[in-house]
A and B are shown apart, each in its own frame.
Chain A
Amino acid sequence: MSLNVSVAADEPIVDPGAPASSDRSGFEWSRVIGPAAVLVIFVALWHYMHSDGMRRFFDKPGFLLPAPETVINDAFLNSLARSKLLTGLGWTTLVALTGLLITIVVGVSLAVMMAQAKWVERSTYPYLVALQAIPILSIVPVINSVFGGGISSRLFVCVMISIFPIVTNTLFGLTSADVGQHDLFTLRGASRRTRLFKLQLPSAMPAIFTGFRISAGLSVIGAVVGEQFFRKGSKPGIGIVMENYRQKGIYPQTYGGLILAAGLGIAMFLVFGWISKRVVGHWHESARKTT
């Protein structure tokens, strides 16, 4: 059938999936040793601050910064404290994920509308920027009276904090399709809908996932910050549990909560990095390098 099958084969084939590159198949110790060394230094410094540094530099008692092993012992190995913290972490995770989901739906829809009509972009963008500039503290009373100060208030804070990166990244992605690719669709008289679903959205995927990843971290921050202001209801998140411990002067558990909250943010970031790699990694150049 074909005259030229052999011709293609002599051309150089660029296959980044090939095992030739050592950084994919080989294990690089430098990637582990560096971060491990920093961790050791950090823990050592922490220990020093507990035993001597707090008093020497800040004139504060050492128990305000419990030693690392005390934190592990009292917060993670003590079953009562652990279960309180983990339950709190569970509620925070629920709020952060629900908030993120709402943000994704609202943010992506808004960006799609903005990409479809310039007037939508022109009329909404200034307010998105303004939303970014509002300090949460200043609208606490408003949120309180509208959402009642419970879990829905915390969701609102999540959405407010995390929506901007999703909108901007999605919008950037939707408008990033190549002019030549648009010409292809024009040649066959493709409708706006076809263009959106077969060209703009697929080509926006890497940018959309970058937005998801940034917003996932922000959503955790939003959930914890929200807990500082809105504590009504029977669903105390990790921030509330930490604050309760702090008010009682129980510091190891407070720091344990801090570690868990940070871990949640990192976990959300990694999970979205992983999903992104699964979805666009096989075709997108940079997806391979991130995370």
Chain B
Amino acid sequence: MTIHEYASRNDDAFTSSTKVAPMTNSAPAPALSFSGVSMVFPDGTHALGETSFDVRPGEFVTVVGPSGCGKSTLLRIASGLNKATTGTVTVDRAHLGYVFQDPTLLQWRNVQRNVELMAELEGIGKAERQSRALEAIELVGLKGFENKYPKQLSGGMKMRASLARSLVLEPKVFLFDEPFGAVDEITRERLNDEVISLFQRKGFAGLFITHSISEAVFLSTRVVVMSARPGRIIADFPVPFDYPRSPEIRFDAAFAALSGEISHALRDAHA
């Protein structure tokens, strides 16, 4: 596995080097690591305070926090879409999944060709990407809709196609930027089941952004709470429930207690 280390400083000098991941028997190397990452936009907005945390293989970390606290910025920095003002991110970008708030499907491509897109841009051969796309489409439950165009799909189905598009890259790290904010509650819960089932099957490390505490607790192995802008981590809750998680755990007393604690931490974050 090649790990690219991206480092940048205030003067925006951007250096990159390749190093071998240090492998120890006890704790696996983080799949995604933020160290001292902060972000000040050119207009002076201090979006993200110095933030350091790791997402290890097998972890599913959800970040909750007030609007504008730099949660999405964190993902954009991890993926390389934005450069951090300070700090370093360590991640294998060749196997990085990324789902945006909007499905961002290409309207002129049907589901099959949309799902192939990332593999196509990566230069993966036609036969290979077609078979990977078919598998991903089946995994997200869109079998039979391969030839439909985005305008023929519901919001939830578009999100499924968007998930499948990232799966084709066989991600080791999967970033989710509030992907289910725009779908109705029932669809959102179904898509949550879907994400858990993908997480279990594919074994990627997940980093998920949401406003919904219940979604955060339901999905994650860990919930991280960020403060208001400039965002920094103010609390970190392990989630004790085993996978697979039944939708029923949402009504569990322990689930409610943990949600309550996170809600309190979030209230402090707004203060």
Measured CB to CB, the residues of A under 8 A from B are: 1-8, 11-17, 178, 180-181, 183-188, 190, 194, 198-199, 202-203, 205, 280, 282-285
Contact = CB atoms under 8 A, between A and B. Distances in A.
Contact of A7 (B100, B109, B150, B194): B194
A2 B138 CA distance: 6
- A-B CB proximity, top 5 nearest: A4-B141, A180-B104, A188-B121, A8-B141, A283-B149
A260 to B, nearest CB: 37
Interface size band for B: 35 or more
Contacts of A12: 154
Contacts of B160: 8
22 contacts: A1-B138, A2-B138, A2-B141, A5-B141, A7-B141, A8-B141, A14-B153, A17-B152, A180-B100, A184-B104, A184-B117, A184-B121, A186-B81, A187-B79, A187-B80, A188-B118, A194-B121, A202-B106, A203-B108, A283-B108, A283-B150, A284-B108
A4 B149 contact: no
A187 B174 CA distance: 13
A186 B93 CA distance: 12
Contacts of B138: 1-2, 5
Nearest to A13: B154
B12 interface: no
A194 B106 CA distance: 14
Given A2-B143, A190-B121, A13 B108 contact: no
Contacts, number: 97
Interface of B: 79-81, 96, 98, 100-102, 104, 106-109, 117-118, 120-122, 138-143, 145, 148-154, 156-157, 160, 187, 190, 193-194, 197
B152 A2 contact: no
Given A2-B139, A2-B141, A285-B151, A183 B104 contact: yes
Contacts of A198: 120-121
Contacts of B102: 178, 180
A142 to B, nearest CB: 43
Given A2-B138, A203-B108, A187 B154 contact: no
Contacts of A186: 81
B254 to A, nearest CB: 25
A83 B117 CA distance: 55
Contact of A199 (B106, B118, B150, B152): B106
Q: Which of A1, A5, A8, A202 has its CB near the most chain B CB atoms (within 10 A)?
A: A8
A6 B143 CA distance: 10
Given A181-B104, A203-B108, A8 B151 contact: no
Contacts of A8: 140-142, 145, 156-157, 160
Contacts of A190: 121
Nearest to B135: A1
B107 A283 contact: yes
B102 to A, nearest CB: 5
B156 A11 contact: yes
A174 to B, nearest CB: 14
Nearest to B120: A198
A108 B190 CA distance: 45
A202 B141 CA distance: 28
A198 B117 CA distance: 9
A13 B122 CA distance: 31
Contact of A203 (B81, B107, B151): B107
A188 B121 CA distance: 6
Given A4-B193, A188-B118, A198-B121, 12 more contacts: A3-B197, A4-B194, A5-B141, A7-B190, A8-B157, A14-B151, A14-B152, A180-B104, A186-B81, A188-B122, A203-B108, A205-B108
Contacts of B100: 180, 183
B179 to A, nearest CB: 12
B133 to A, nearest CB: 14
A16 to B, nearest CB: 7
B108 A280 contact: yes
A170 to B, nearest CB: 16
A1 B197 CA distance: 12
Contacts of A285: 151
A203 B141 CA distance: 27
A178 B121 contact: no
Nearest to A279: B108
A205 B151 CA distance: 16
Contacts of B151: 14, 16, 283-285
Contact of A15 (B98, B152, B187, B194): B152
A178 B194 contact: no
B139 A185 contact: no
Given A188-B121, A190-B121, A5 B143 contact: yes
A199 B148 CA distance: 19
Given A1-B138, A7-B190, A199-B106, A13 B121 contact: no
